[in-house]
Structure 1
Amino acid sequence: MHHTTLHNTTIHQTTQHHTTIHHTTQHHTTIHHTTLHHTTLHHTTIQHTTLHHTTLHHTALHHTTSIHTTLHHITIHHTTLHHTTIHHTTLRHTALHHTSSHHTTLHHTTIHHTTLHHTTIHHTTIHHTTLHHTTLYHTTIHHTTFHHSTLHHTAFHHTALHHTIIYHTTLHHTTIHHTTLHLTTIHHTTLRLTTIHHTALHHTTIHRTALHHTTFHHPALQLTILHHTALHNTTIHQTAL
């Protein structure tokens, strides 16, 4: 299916497998109770589209734009997203596992009640994005920028963040454990009601950051620069400085 336009279309109870969809525009489309597997979408625009109760597996999305799209009750696994733009999009009750996202931009996106596991996110910009009730585990985030983002009721565990910039971001009701942050810059960020344990920060810069009602335990803080930082109502214990 290529050089095709689908609009004001409903696709439901459909299985597409071993399919290539390229140079396609889908807009004002509803796709529900659909399985896409062994499918490649490239040079595709998906806009004003709702996907629900949909499974995407062994799927490659590249040079794809998704705008004003709602994805709910979606499972995405063994999927590669590259050179993909996702904006003004809501992901809810979504599971992403064994998924790779690279050279991807997420902006004005809400991700809630979502699990990301065994996921690699690299060369990605995440801005004006809200992540809530989200779990990230066995996840690698590198060469990634988070800015003007809110992460709340979020758990990061067995996660590595490297070459990552986090600024103008609020993390609250967040658990960060068994996590490595290296060559990471965190600035103009608020951490509140946050637990950080068994975490390594190295070659990390934290500046103009407010930490309140935060517990640090068993972290290794090495070669770390803390400057222009406010720590209040904060507990730091069993910490190597």
Structure 2
Amino acid sequence: MMDLHCHVDLYPDHDIVLKDIERSHYYVLSVTTVPSAFKGTVALTKDLNNCRTALGLHPQLAHQRYNELPLFDKLCPKTRYIGEIGLDGSKGYEEHMLIQKKVLEHILKKCSEFNDKILTIHSLNAVDKVLDLLNIYPDAGRSILHWFLATKKQTDRAVELGCYFSVGPAMLNSARARKVISWLPPDKILLETDGPFTKVERRLSLPSDVTLVTRYLSDIWGKPLSHVNSVLKSNLKTLLDKHRLEHS
């Protein structure tokens, strides 16, 4: 199984999350929020064969840390994983949308120089703007829309663009999010936690908590857990297949 959106470096106790990743054997993508955090996060997870570090510049920090774009460019060849990136149109961040868009467009342009990138993307209250840019830069890589909240029309458009969707336990607590999950094609669903920014049973989420999502999918699909696990593992394999990416 997998957790494709986890802020490993931001847990207050690294030991707890690192041991969980080691015990679970799940494939974990450790996302970063600024390029300057990349090397430290790589070092933090260096002993975990099942954990990869993504290079990111979070939209909520874009107006403060856009000066790290040259560092992003320098580090980009060192990983095929990009994230957390995206746009955020929420109160307090919408006023910085212009610089957010410049940052995201820069990142997508840079990623288009390669043929193997996998991107995990934030689109809160900015879905159409994100999809517009993904449409302009189709060669940036495979996109995973993290914690996707959208209309049916927007969801259909994202599917047409070939996006994947990562679903976490915290989404199950929202009627709006559950509705979106019901619209997602099974072959485009992946798992995430967004830990440590989410909680399960009053504690910080850990990668092993994605099993809450697999049980939920089993219920709404009317399929045994073994079937759900098989589909999700197949989705991950397809996502990571470099040959498919080069010829998609």
- What is the TM-score when the length of structure 1 is the normalising length? 0.28
More helix by share: 2
- What is the TM-score when the length of structure 2 is the normalising length? 0.27
Greater radius of gyration (CA): 1
More strand by share: 1
